[in-house]
Amino acid sequence: MSDDIVIDVEGLTKSFGNNTVVRDLTMQVRRGQIYGFLGPNGSGKTTTIRMLCGLLRPDSGRGTCLGHDILTETAAIKRRVGYMTQRFSLYGDLTIRENLEFVARLYRLSRPRQCARDTIDRLGLSGRADQLAGTLSGGWKQRLALGACIMPKPDLLLLDEPTAGVDPKARRDFWNEIHGLAADGLTVLVSTHYMDEAERCHELAYIAYGEVLTHGTVEDVIDGAGLTTWTVTGPDLQVLAKELAGLPGVETVAPFGMALHVSGRDSAVLERSLAPLRERGDHQWLRGRATLEDVFISLMGNVRDEAA
């Protein structure tokens, strides 16, 4: 395997009872890459992350993480991975400084106090170093948790929905830091619900009901969907949306601010269905490129149809 490949897994499957959470998952992640996992709750993102870092054993499949076998060398993987969980897991009754010094000692880092000071400075926590962690806002807790993850200098950072419930500015600051870490050679695997965050990833995969529906760069995913999309503005869009639903060729009708996005894969059929509505002149119709959100709405619609 190339040294540039950090994660290389094939056919990973995991079930809990009769519920298959991850089904035949195959993926590769390159060194220094930010790889995004998208998908609804229960889609298998967290289970996949836990299998990759050795916390869960897959029922079937094979692969390596950081060159170590995910079935037989889990201890070696854990020593080289930083894992930031969905829930804040540090001590609320310790200060930022005390939490970081504790983590440094836990990992047996030399000069733990200096390591904690360096991490505090890097992440802009100096003014809050003596504040109790339990009194921090969501954004500051997130920054502290990230500091604890990167202090041991891992080779791979796993982030499980790290910005859930965090304000937009804190999310932007967090992602600026992640891109800085990736530029220094750290590989990052991140799960998220947010489309704007997905667009910040070098590559992404969309997972639903345990299966990868699409993967690649944002451009690859959008182009591969083959969607034709119209943006519609004007009055009474909710009435128009009901009129559009169910027309031949119309796969999705979704509100975007003061507009509707109308999409379908069969361009010719979609055009024929929309022609009478466009000729009425009640609304403004602009043909454009599908967005990432258009693609994922369409994918979820198709998955629901197949499940039904």
How high is the pLDDT of residue 131? 94
**Residue 279 has what pLDDT?**
94
Mean pLDDT, contiguous 10-residue spans, the chain (308 residues): 84 93 93 91 87 92 94 94 86 94 93 94 88 90 91 93 82 90 93 87 90 92 93 95 93 92 95 95 93 87 53
What does the pLDDT read at residue 2?
60
Q: Report whether 20 contacts 43 (CB < 8 A).
A: no
Inter-residue contact 156 to 6 (CB < 8 Å): yes
- Distance, in Å, from the CA atom of 260 to the CA atom of 254, rounded to the nearest integer, reads 6
The CA R_g of the chain, rounded to the nearest whole Å, is 23
Q: What is the pTM of this model?
A: 0.87
Q: Tell me if residue 7 falls in helix, strand or coil.
A: strand
**C-alpha span between 207 and 37 (Å, rounded):** 7
- The CATH fold assigned to 227-289 is Alpha-Beta Plaits (3.30.70)
Domain boundaries of the chain, sorted by first residue: 5-221, 227-289
* Residue 253 CB contacts under 8 Å (≥ 6 apart), including other chains: 241, 244, 245, 260, 261, 262
Contact present, 135 and 141 (Cβ < 8 Å): no
CATH 3.40.50.300 fits 5-221, yes or no: yes
Tell which phi-psi region holds residue 49, choosing left (phi > 0), alpha (psi between -120 and 50) or beta.
alpha
Query: Which pLDDT value is given to residue 302?
Result: 66
